Structure 1
Amino acid sequence: MTGQLPDAGITGLLDGTVPPGIYRLPVTESAARTLTLAAEAGWRAARLRLDGVGDKAAFLDKCAADLGFPGWFGHNWDALADCLMDFSWWRKDGEPSGYLLLAEDWDTFRKSAPEDARMAETIFRDAIDFWAGRETPLAVLLV
């Protein structure tokens, strides 16, 4: 289940006082400000723009394009999990403090393709759990 970001907000997520997870971006926050805060905290962040995405194939294509997945991405659920649990393709300038994905228009995608959205959330959660045991956590904010 996706939760509301606790009172410590984005700053708490980035400084580690809020545990990594899948949270709703508060309506009082913007994606642009969130990306700025993440960069200032040393996190690697990316926007996943899901406007007009209504099925698994389109979702995976958007992930590949917006997140800059490597050429070996196989456009299936297993490959998505592989990319989210091996960020060697995303570490260009050293080790970040964490990883942040902003999934924009999530509710539209979820309404268009509920089973695909559930599977994507499961993969997000598995990746969050994987990174939680390491120095570089992963968090997902749904916008």
Structure 2
Amino acid sequence: MTERVVTLDLAGVTDKAGLMDRCVRALDLPDWFGRNWDALADSLSDHTVWPGDAGERGLLIVVRDWQTYARARPEEWKIVQALFTEAADRTPALAVALTLGGSS
């Protein structure tokens, strides 16, 4: 069985609130999601809150059009990258891929 693929499209996102909104939608995060860095880290590492059957199959998050956000908020983008890396390192069923090209 292959992992579930979720696209996290950051086109037009230029701040943390926008990033969190896109994460909520793409990852189908629960209503109690706190929209902060700690909550995002916890959600990435907790397969019980992953969308659909991703907890059993594994989860691949494909992040696209992230470059505008990275340029607008470079310090926040460093945090996001660290969260993705740490979660993927701790959670073998999780992989995160950043697409190249196609950014605005």
TM-score relative to the length of structure 1: 0.64
Structure 1: gaps of 5 or more residues: 1-40
Q: SS of the residue aligned with 2:91?
A: helix
Q: Which runs of 5+ in 2 are unaligned?
A: 100-104
Aligned length: 98
Query: Sequence identity of aligned pairs in percent?
Result: 43
Counterpart Cα distance in 2 of 1:91 and 1:109: 24
Structure with bigger gyration radius: 1
Deviation at 1:91, TM superposition (A): 5.8
Higher RCO (Cα < 8 Å, 6 or more apart): 2
Question: Bigger CA drift: 62-71 or 83-92?
Answer: 83-92
Give the root-mean-square deviation of aligned CA atoms: 1.5
Shift of 1:89: 2.0
d(CA) in 1 for partners of 2:4, 2:44: 13
Q: Deviations over 1:22-46 (max 9, x none)?
A: xxxxxxxxxxxxxxxxxxx520110
Aligned amino acid, residue 95 of structure 1 = E
Q: Report the counterpart of residue 140 of structure 1 in structure 2.
A: 96
Matched, 1:95 2:51: no
In the other structure, the counterpart of 2:70 is: 110
